[in-house]
Amino acid sequence: MKAILLALIALQRLDNQIADCRRAVAHGPEKLAQARLRLTALEEELTTLKDQLEGNRRRRRELETESDDLANRRTINQTRQLKAKNNDEYRAVLKEADTIASQLTAREDELLRLMEEAEKLEESLPGLEKATAAEAAAFKTNSKSIEKEMASCQKLEKEALAERVRLTETLPADALGRYRIVAKNRDGQAMAPVSGGLCQVCRLSVPPQLFNELQRNDKLLSCPNCARIIYWPDHPDLRPEEETPDDPTVTKAHG
């Protein structure tokens, strides 16, 4: 019984390790995408800022050209004011002068506003460029470590699977069959240590009579509540294997 129980406990440890590995490998791409998301957001922000600056510069060049044209028209208009032949013509030339003046003012106002805007945009550019470069470097490191973690999990899983095959060959068919059925019905957790009179997986108490049987350790016993195969980790037969305070054969997710 000692060998069977030790093998079953080891099998549970391997199965939990394999499940952890598969979970880690499955979450890898998601973690990578999340890390990439932060970088993408900064890159987009930087592109938007550069586009705004470029748009601002383009509009300022347009305004400067338009202002030059208006200034030329104003000079021509001033000459025409002097050469006006009658009152009607003079009034028309003056009206045109007013229009040119108000158009020039509008362009000067817009130019001033755009210069202020450009100043603010240019101020925030170096900080954003620095933050984006830092995030790109962090992403590179982060993605390398995620990929490394995934690769090491895959390696660990492969080793655990090989060890599992070796271990299952040492187990009698009935014990292995029982483990498989309970594991299948109990979300992969077939084994449950009993400590302080409680099944450590479902947290319900084990009757004293059953605990006495558990201490004899001469047959496989089940938790009356969750039906998992129970064992007493403090049993002298099992103790050398079970000295760690946190029992790694129990995953917290199970109840």
Task: State the minimum distance, in angstroms, from the CB of residue 186 to Zn ion.
Answer: 9
Q: Tell me how far apart the alpha carbons of residues 134 and 123 are, in angstroms, rounded to a whole number.
A: 18
Nearest distance, CB of residue 16 and Zn ion, angstroms: 16
- Does 202 bind Zn ion (CB under 5 A)? Our answer is yes
What is the number of alpha carbons within 13 Å of residue 84 lying toward its C-beta? 16
**Dihedral Cα 140, 146, 150, 151, nearest 10 deg:** 40
Beta pairing, strands 229-231 & 191-195? parallel
**Residue 206 in contact with Zn ion, rule: CB under 5 A:** no
Q: State which residue, 143 or 225, has the beta carbon closest to Zn ion.
A: 225
- Told to check if 225 binds Zn ion by CB under 5 A, we report yes
Stretch that binds Zn ion, among 19-27, 32-40, 158-166, 224-232 (CB under 5 A): 224-232
Residues 103 and 26: their CA atoms lie apart, in Å, by 64
| Candidates 49-57, 97-105, 216-224, 245-253; binding stretch for Zn ion (CB under 5 A) | 216-224
Is 199 among the residues that bind Zn ion (CB under 5 A)? yes
**Of these, 7, 8, 226, 229, which contacts Zn ion (CB under 5 A)?**
226
Measure the CA–CA gap between 73 and 78, rounded to whole angstroms.
9
Task: Provide the edge-to-edge strand list for the sheet that holds 198-199.
Answer: 198-199, 191-195, 229-231, 221-222
In this chain, which stretch among 133-141, 180-188, 194-202, 236-244 interacts with Zn ion, using CB under 5 A? Answer: 194-202
Chain residues binding Zn ion by CB under 5 A are 199, 202, 223, 225-226
